[in-house]
C-alpha cells in the first residue's frame, strides 16, 4: 500500500515556534487525535464484504507520540484503494488521508498561534 506523508515547508521555523509557544504534549495530543480520526474515517469508507479489510485498518504511534501511522494490513488493500485494470478504485484510505490532512495542518497552525 502506498504511504502518504505530510511535509510542512519551513518545518524548522515551525518546530521553533512550537517549542516556544506550546507544550509538546499538545502536539502529541494533536497527532494522536488526528491519527485516530484518520483510522475511523478509513474504516467507515472501507468497502465491506467480509469485514476483513475494515478490521485490518490499524493505528500505531511511534517516535514518542510525534508520529502516527494508519495502515490496512489486508494483502489486497492496495488493490481496492487504487484499483487494477479489472477492478475500479475505491479510495477509502486516500480520500480519508487527504481530508484529515487539512484538519491536522489547521490544528498545528492553531497550536503555533
Q: What is the pLDDT of residue 23?
A: 76
**pLDDT beneath 70: ranges in the chain:** 1-22
Could you tell me how far CA 44 lies from the centroid of its own chain? 14
Q: Report pLDDT digits (tens) over 52-68.
A: 999 999 999 988 888 89
Instruction: From residue 45, give the alpha-carbon distance in Å to each of 6, 51, 69.
Output: 21, 12, 18
Bridge partners, residue 109, by sequence: none
Characterize the bridge pairing of strands 67-72 and 57-62: antiparallel
Q: What is the pLDDT of residue 14?
A: 64
Q: What is the pLDDT of residue 72?
A: 94
Hey, what's the cell of 109? 497552525
Q: What is the pLDDT of residue 10?
A: 61
Q: What is the pLDDT of residue 20?
A: 66
Taking all residues of the chain, what is their mean pLDDT, rounded to a whole number?
86
Bridge partners, residue 61, by sequence: 68
Q: What is the pLDDT of residue 111?
A: 83
Q: What is the pLDDT of residue 102?
A: 94
Amino acid at each position: 500500500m502506498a504511504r502518504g506523508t505530510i511535509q510542512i515547508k519551513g518545518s524548522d521555523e515551525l518546530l521553533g515556534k512550537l517549542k516556544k509557544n506550546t507544550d509538546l504534549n499538545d502536539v502529541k495530543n494533536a497527532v494522536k487525535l488526528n491519527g485516530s480520526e484518520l483510522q475511523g474515517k478509513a474504516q467507515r469508507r472501507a468497502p465491506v464484504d467480509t469485514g476483513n479489510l475494515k478490521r485490518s485498518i490499524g493505528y500505531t504511534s511511534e517516535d514518542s507520540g510525534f508520529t502516527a501511522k494508519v495502515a490496512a494490513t489486508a494483502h489486497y488493500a492496495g488493490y481496492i484503494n487504487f484499483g487494477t485494470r479489472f477492478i475500479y478504485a475505491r479510495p477509502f484510505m486516500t480520500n480519508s488521508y487527504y481530508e484529515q490532512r487539512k484538519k491536522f495542518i489547521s490544528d498545528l497552525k492553531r497550536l503555533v498561534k
